[in-house]
Amino acid sequence: MHSRAKKALEVFLKEDIGKGDITSKLLPRKKISAIIISRQRGIVAGVSHAREIFNSRDCKVRILKNDGSKIEPNDKIMTVAGQAYSVLSCERTALNLLSRMSGIATQTNELVKIIKSINPKVDLYSTRKTAPGLRIFDKEAVEIGGGRKHRMYLDQMVMIKDNHLAVAESLQDIVRSAKKRYKKFEVEVENQDSAIEAAKEGAPIIMLDNMPPKEISCIIQVLKQLNLRKGIKIEASGGIDTSNVKSYAKTGIDMISIGRLTSSVSGIDFSLEVN
């Protein structure tokens, strides 16, 4: 497990436990066993992190459903055994992370299935619209659901967005500056003229932001007519969800990015039951 993830899990636990779980301290000191059960249908994600949370407090865990598995209501996800105080003080942190990650994986998987049914070559990407402190886990959940991470941090790839263009001298200048230093970078554009300019300057990835599918199809056709489409990846982003993702997948793009994969999460319900 990534060291950043381990450190984050410890922070999550300390946030919940504080100076100690005073309710569980009232219980007799004895060992118990428990089982985590799903209450909804979906794709499970975060199992390895839930195990790490319990293991960090000397509990033994047996995983029954691995990350990426389809789950139904009342499916058994994992068993936990250890001191009652340890199991119960870890319960909420483990369940919260399982719930969020599984919700992201489930939503991602549903969208990926729709996209791939239209065009298997189009990939679904997450964005940086993640909950602060949870990016590692949010992005991992997207991958478990069949999506892709895009960039994790600002230092991983140049992405020239509208506010960068507002500060820069021109689109041409900032693209040329990026080309001198990096082989891979992306430019966000909001109209056909800017898309053509970015393509002419050799931007390897062009994001068509907040455009309807018809406009995207038109831009891609124009780029083909100008012999500018080859070697360039086209990404669509902004306002895309289950209601319109099919239309976007039909446009001829290569990538679809959806912020609400991680910004608007509907968690999957899990519960821990002591045997």
User: Distance (Å, rounded) from C-alpha 257 to C-alpha 127?
Assistant: 7
For the chain, the maximum distance between any two Cα atoms, rounded to a whole number of angstroms, is 76
In the chain, the percentage of residues whose pLDDT exceeds 70 is 100
Of 129, 179, 233, 250, the active-site residue reads: 129
pTM of the complete model beyond 0.85: yes
Fold for the domain defined by 3-106+265-274: Aldehyde Oxidoreductase; domain 3 (3.90.1170)
The H or E element containing residue 256 is strand 255-257
| E strands in 107-204 | 123-125, 158-160, 185-189
Amino acid at 36: I
- DSSP 3-state of 232: coil
State both tokens at 228: 């500018």
Query: Cβ(112)–Cβ(147) under 8 Å?
Result: yes
> Which pLDDT value is given to residue 153?
87
- DSSP 3-state of 60: strand
The CATH code belonging to domain 111-263 is 3.20.20.70
Query: Cβ(108)–Cβ(268) under 8 Å?
Result: no
Extract the residue ranges of the chain whose pLDDT is less than 50: none
30 is catalytic: no
User: Distance (Å, rounded) from C-alpha 80 to C-alpha 274?
Assistant: 9
Query: Cβ(259)–Cβ(26) under 8 Å?
Result: no
> Which pLDDT value is given to residue 2?
73
Structural domain spans, the chain: 3-106+265-274, 111-263
Q: Which residues pair with 209 in a beta bridge?
A: 237
> Which pLDDT value is given to residue 240?
95
